[in-house]
Amino acid sequence: MPLACFTCPNHCGGRPSTASSRWFTSLPFWLYSTAMSKTYSSTPPLASSLSPSPFFCFSDLVLAFMWASAQAFRMSPIRRKEFPQNLKQIIKDEDFVGLDVFICTADPYKEPPMNVVNTALSLMAYDYPTEKISIYVSDDGGSVLTLFAFMEAAKFARHWLPFCRQHNIMERSPHVYFESISHHPSIPQFEKIKIMYEDMKMKVEQVIDKGAVIEEYISDDQQHQAFNKWTKSFSRMDHPTVIQIMSYEQVILDKSKDTDISGQLMPNLIYVSREKSKTSPHHFKAGALNVLLRVSAVMTNAPIILTQDCDMYSNDPQTPLRILCYFSDPALKSNLAFVQFPQRFHGLNRDDIYATEYKRLFKINSMGFDGLNGPNYVGSGCFFRRRALFGGPSTPVPPEIPELGPDHVVRKPIISHEILSLAHRVAGCNYENQTGWGSQSGFRYGSLVEDFYTGYRLQCEGWKSLFCNPERAAFLGDVPITLFDVLSQCKRWCIGLFEVAFSKYNTLIFGSQSMGVLMSLAYSHYALWPIWCIPVTFYSFLPQLALLNQVSLFPKITEPWFFLYVFLLLGAYGQDFLDFVLDGGTVRKWWNAQRMWMIRGLSCYLFSSIEYLLKSVGISTHGFSLTSKVVDDEQSKRYGQGIFEFGVPSPLFMPLTVAAIINLFSFLFVLTQFFSGKNTEGLCLKMILTGSIVLNCLPVYGAIGLRNDAGKMPTQITIISTFVSVALYYASSLSL
């Protein structure tokens, strides 16, 4: 009776030795990269003052490195399948292991508490023995509004959970469920539950609008006591720990567990806002997760942990059964650290204009990773074995107090005084001083991509991971819907990736020593992700400026290099296209993905590299800027129509705008040369390069010249970019 199996995604049947078909298609890119460097030495010598060749050589080296490192993902991609229906025959209900779910939220205004509540409800309603589930909510926003929302959610959950079970509902986020179905004549309680949900939503939103809990909504003393912890001196960045165990029936209970309206036990629901002080570092999300790791150890200490972003609700109640297919497999048991689901999103627009699906990152390359030591951790939708966060498989790192150890058995009820006071102690902001938290155990500190870094460190310690990608998405999350948000998020990721790349655990040297060459290359491909900015920036400006100054950098159509050049260019693009479309992507989505690659090259990759450099020399600092999950109606309307949203006068848009202007002029220049019949054989490659950049920049021209809505290109950016373009042209004419 199989629980799980795996195959190669290239439809070759069975377990592949290598995915040779994919490997083959990537060959052109390598040749392309090599040939590019050779081409320059074959072009006529340029004016001696500034020869662009070294820049191109460097750009091509970067291209070659990105090509070579990406090959690691092509060696043996695998696709897995689970058979959760067989599980119940092997494991009895009472033998299901405990599951501690961690949900992080950090700001009630950027991450609306109603969304967080919906995420929590969808996870509480898993098809899993309820008494084995504990939900821990970390509120880094330290907000009484979020706590209020959860108190309301607890009341509603007593009705929602049995309702989902009885009617076998798949959408267990009430928001999603009631949005998809407005009327259900065959379910008698439908209307009643819907009204309860609407009522809860109204109360929570009123409280958010008011910015404070409304007195008449407080139903008992226990709630009063909890809200009173928000004293005058309580602020987001400076406050004591608040841990609140939700009671479902809103009366003080002496039994350890509450039941729902059908008499079944309810999962534990625990609100945690860790102590914050302006003088102690809090390490952003990694810090929050470590607090939950300790608080949960003290209270329930489940062997399996699910980490979840507040906007990623469960879309499939069977998910925990799927992961048990792996965690209970004796062949995998000894060193499997985590099972990662892909991040998938709802609300993408039809052609995914900002390519926020990140198909390659979250799916294609994860399958590639899976054939090696396993996928990287992506922060959400990941089930950990608790033990993996306490040292390598054969080199355990025991915590400073035994109650935090993965094997410790909790014997007291979670509401007991001893447990609560210990939980407060381990949530304190100075608890980690002089301990190995964040360096040797738990989620690792030192990078803004704590997920990437933690997964990487675990794999270096000898742990393996697994990629689980069922057809029905296990989780669905929000995507940013403005270009500024998309690029800012990507910039934060890039800075975090560089922090890993240039740490003492750098992915090339330390990584290859710990995990071998292929894993090291795969991790380096991402750790050095921002260096894409080098070739993208140079190819967006230098050949164009040279062209406008009538200097040629490209071979003519009659030279043999020309064909190699075109072959490689088409090869690289063709390969990317094939990967994308074979994985079910549409042509338009692919087009948008390559456009966003160029845009990121000129914005977030570039700016993160600069910011990282500035930080290294001590000039700037950076924090975790949350991605907003609030929807502005106008913006979301434009997003739905597939219109690019600029709007913010951010420097992030400048290099892109300058490239758009310079390439437009270069393209027009090439066209006039072509039509005047001058030097036509030298024009082809220039036409392809400038033409494709102009095509990619069409939304930029529209945003500069044709639009009048709030999402158009801010006038300041247009003016400054025009000046910069002219200045670049003159500077290049002096030096070329």
Ligand X SMILES: O=c1ccn([C@@H]2O[C@H](COP(=O)(O)OP(=O)(O)O[C@H]3O[C@H](CO)[C@@H](O)[C@H](O)[C@H]3O)[C@@H](O)[C@H]2O)c(=O)[nH]1
**At 16, phi and psi to the nearest 5?**
-80, 150
Q: Please indicate whether residue 632 is annotated as part of the active site.
A: no
Residue 274 CA to chain centroid, in angstroms?
A: 24
Q: For the chain, how many residues are written?
A: 736
Q: Which of 624, 669, 674, 701 binds ligand X (CB under 6 A)?
A: 624
Q: Please indicate whether residue 451 is annotated as part of the active site.
A: yes
SS3 for 394-449 is: CCECCCCCHHHCCCCCCCCCCCCHHHHHHHHHHCCCCCCCCCCECCCECCCCCCCC
Residue 129 CA to chain centroid, in angstroms?
A: 30
d(CA 98, CA 152): 25
Q: Which of 60, 275, 309, 485 binds ligand X (CB under 6 A)?
A: 309
The partner residues of 235 in beta bridges, in order of sequence, read: 238
Annotate 122-165 with DSSP letters as a single string. HHHT-SS-GGGEEEEEEETT--HHHHHHHHHHHHHHHHHHHHHH
- Of the pair 489, 696, the CB lying nearest ligand X is at 489
Question: Of 635-654, which residues contact ligand X (CB under 6 A)?
Answer: none
CB closest to ligand X, residue no? 379
**CA pseudo-torsion sign 244, 249, 254, 255:** negative
Q: Exposed/middle/buried for 366, CB within 10 Å: 0-12, 13-18, 19+? A: buried
- Of the pair 443, 565, the CB lying nearest Mn ion is at 443
Bridge pairing between strands 336-340 and 475-476: unpaired
d(CA 329, CA 184): 41
Largest CA distance in the chain: 91
E strands within 300-420? 304-309, 313-314, 336-340, 382-385
Tokens of 152: 């309301």
Binding segment for Mn ion among 211-219, 349-357, 626-634, 727-735 (CB under 5 A)? 626-634
612 binds ligand X (CB under 6 A): no
x-or-dash string of contact with ligand X, 340-359, rule CB under 6 A:
---x----------------
Question: Of 627-646, which residues contact Mn ion (CB under 5 A)?
Answer: 627
109 binds ligand X (CB under 6 A): no
- Of the pair 112, 714, the CB lying nearest ligand X is at 112
Distances (CA, A) of 28 to 169, 464, 540: 49, 33, 21
376 binds ligand X (CB under 6 A): no
Q: List the single partner that 624 binds among ligand X, Mn ion, none, CB under 5 to 8 Å by kind.
A: ligand X
> Helix (H, G, I), strand (E, B), or coil: what is residue 515?
helix
| Number of chain residues interacting with ligand X (CB under 6 A) | 25
Judge whether 431 and 360 are in contact, CB under 8 Å: no
What residue has token string 């500069």?
704
Amino acid 347 reads G
Q: List the single partner that 489 binds among Mn ion, ligand X, none, CB under 5 to 8 Å by kind.
A: ligand X
Binding segment for Mn ion among 122-130, 527-535, 609-617, 623-631 (CB under 5 A)? 623-631
- Of the pair 189, 627, the CB lying nearest Mn ion is at 627
Cα dihedral angle (157, 161, 162, 165), rounded to 10 degrees? 170
x-or-dash string of contact with ligand X, 272-301, rule CB under 6 A:
------------xx--x-------------
Q: Which of 4, 305, 598, 626 binds ligand X (CB under 6 A)?
A: 626
Bridge pairing between strands 382-385 and 304-309: antiparallel
Binding segment for ligand X among 188-196, 211-219, 425-433, 446-454 (CB under 6 A)? 446-454
x-or-dash string of contact with ligand X, 126-145, rule CB under 6 A:
------------x-x-----
DSSP 276: B
Q: Which of 101, 336, 448, 494 binds ligand X (CB under 6 A)?
A: 448
- Of the pair 625, 716, the CB lying nearest ligand X is at 625
518 binds ligand X (CB under 6 A): no
Q: List the single partner that 105 binds among Mn ion, ligand X, none, CB under 5 to 8 Å by kind.
A: ligand X
104 binds ligand X (CB under 6 A): yes
- Of the pair 483, 736, the CB lying nearest Mn ion is at 483
d(CA 447, CA 502): 10
- Of the pair 73, 493, the CB lying nearest ligand X is at 493
59 binds ligand X (CB under 6 A): no
- Of the pair 355, 626, the CB lying nearest ligand X is at 626
Amino acid 233 reads S
102 binds ligand X (CB under 6 A): no
Q: Smallest distance, Å, CB 309 to Mn ion? A: 5
**CA pseudo-torsion sign 201, 207, 211, 213:** negative
For 499-533, letters b (16+ CB in 10 Å) and e give bbbebebbbbebbbebbeebbbbbbbbbbbbbbbb
- Of the pair 628, 690, the CB lying nearest Mn ion is at 628
- Of 352, 451, 478, 579, the catalytic one is 451
111 binds ligand X (CB under 6 A): yes
Binding segment for ligand X among 178-186, 448-456, 522-530, 547-555 (CB under 6 A)? 448-456
Binding segment for ligand X among 105-113, 271-279, 389-397, 584-592 (CB under 6 A)? 105-113
663 binds ligand X (CB under 6 A): no
Judge whether 642 and 698 are in contact, CB under 8 Å: no
The partner residues of 339 in beta bridges, in order of sequence, read: 383, 466
Q: What is the CA radius of gyration of the chain?
A: 28
- Of the pair 26, 119, the CB lying nearest ligand X is at 119
Annotate 465-478 with DSSP letters as a single string. EEE---SS-SEEB-
Judge whether 711 and 647 are in contact, CB under 8 Å: yes
- Of 140, 309, 311, 579, the catalytic one is 140
Q: Which of 356, 489, 540, 635 binds ligand X (CB under 6 A)?
A: 489
Angle between helices 560-582 and 27-42 (to 10 degrees): 150
449 binds ligand X (CB under 6 A): yes
x-or-dash string of contact with ligand X, 77-96, rule CB under 6 A:
--------------------
- Of the pair 113, 555, the CB lying nearest ligand X is at 113
Q: Smallest distance, Å, CB 499 to ligand X? A: 11
120 binds ligand X (CB under 6 A): no
What residue has token string 């910039």?
491
Q: Which of 156, 163, 493, 523 binds ligand X (CB under 6 A)?
A: 493
The partner residues of 465 in beta bridges, in order of sequence, read: 338
CB closest to Mn ion, residue no? 627
Binding segment for Mn ion among 92-100, 334-342, 598-606, 624-632 (CB under 5 A)? 624-632
627 binds ligand X (CB under 6 A): yes
d(CA 410, CA 413): 8
Which chain residues interact with ligand X by CB under 6 A? 104-106, 111, 138, 140, 284-285, 288, 309-310, 343, 379-380, 448-451, 489, 492-493, 496, 624, 626-627
Catalytic positions are 140, 451
Which chain residues interact with Mn ion by CB under 5 A? 627
